[in-house]
Structure 1
C-alpha cells in the first residue's frame, strides 16, 4: 500500500501550467501554485545553495536537478509530469532581509529541463553569478627630471650627463628594477623651453630622451619595454613673460625636463 501511495505521489497530479510545449520551451499559460500549498516538508520554502542553483541549465534530467536543488515542493508529481515548482528563500547579505521567490522548471517530452521561470521575474538575479570584483587600475608613475641638472648646458650625450644627473638616474633605475616584473611600458619624453628654433628644440629633446633611455637600459632596465620621444617646446609647465635673457632662462627652467612615465600591469 505504501509503495502504491509513493508511486501515486511521484507520478500523479500533472502539470499546473496549461499546454506545456512539446519542446518544453514555454507554455500557453504559466500558472503558479499558491506558496502555502507546498508539501508539509517544504512548508515556508527552503534556502537553496546558490552555487548549486547556478549550475542549472537546459538539458539536465530530473535526477540531476534533484541532486542540485532537491525534489519539487508541490504535489504535481515527479516522474510523469513536465513541470516542477519550488519556493525558495534568499537572504540579503547586507540587510538580512529574506526574499521569497517561486521557481518553475518546464521539461520537454523526454523529461529534460528546457524552460526556467521566476516569480517575481526579478528573482532571476539569484541565478546570475556575482559580477567580478573591480580590479583597481594601476595609475602610471611619473618622474620628472630637470635637464639643467641632468646635462651640461646645451648638451645631450651620455658623456655630458652631470654627476648629479647620474645619481638621479641611478636612483630611478633602481626603483624600476624593483618593479621590473610589473612594468608594461616606460615612456621617456624630452622637452625644451621655447627659446631657439622649433627644429633645434625638437632634435635636442629627442636626443636627451634617447640618452636617458640608453642610460636606464645600461643599468638593467629591459630594452623591450622602453621608448623615447622628443616633444621640443610642447606642453610647457610655466609661461614666462619676456624679460632680461638670464632671468627668462631661469624662469623657463621647469620646461626643460625629461619625464619618465611608467605603466604597470594591473594587480589581479
Structure 2
C-alpha cells in the first residue's frame, strides 16, 4: 500500500509541476523589445529572438494560414489574434506581455523552396494589437494576394461607395439605429435586395470622430457597422455577401482644431460616418 501511495503522490507532484509550467508559460515573462510605447505603435528598440529559441511545440516555426494572416489588423485583442494565427512561438508569455513573436514559413508556389520569416506584434496598454513588423521586411510582400489571371479585355470590377452620416443614423455616441436612421436605410435595402444579381459583395465600414479613446472608438464603429449590416439583412439582403468592419477614428475626412466641446463635435460630424461599398463585379 505504501508503494502505491508513493506512486500516486509522485503523479500528483508531476501534475502540479505541469500546471505550474503551463501557468508560467501563459504569464508575463517580459517584453524583449525595449521601451514599448503605451499606444503600442513603436518601441525604443525592436529586439528579435533567435529562431532556434522557440518553445518546443513551435520548433522550426509553422506554416500560417495566409487567409487568416491577411485578416490581422490593429484593434484585435489577444484572443482574436490567437484565433487567427495562434499563440506566440516563444516563451515571452501570453496574457501580461505587450509583445508576441512568431516564426512563419512560406513555401514558394510550385516549389519546395521555403522562406523563413519572423513576425512581431506590439500591443497597447489595453492589450490590443497596434503595430506589426517583419524580419526581414521583405516578408511582408508574401501576404500579397495573387494577381488574378485576366484577359487583355478584362475590366476591373466597379465599386460604388455610399457615405451615410452616422449622426443621421444614430443618436450621438450610440449604436442603435434611430427610427429615422432605419427609414434612411430602407431605400438602400430595397435596391440591394431587388438587384441582387447586379452586385457581388457589400462591405460596410463604420468610422467615429477622434473624441474618446482608440479602444472605445474601435468598438463603437464596429457596433455601428454591425447595426447597419443587421438591418439590411433583416430587410432581405443576402447575409453571405455582406460584412461589417469598424475602423474607429482612422481616415478622417475633416480636420478640426480643438475648441469648445459643442463646436468641436459639430465640426467633426463628417468623420462620424458609415460607408457602404458595393462591389458590382461578377
Q: Look at both structures and tell me which one has the larger radius of gyration over its CA atoms.
A: 1
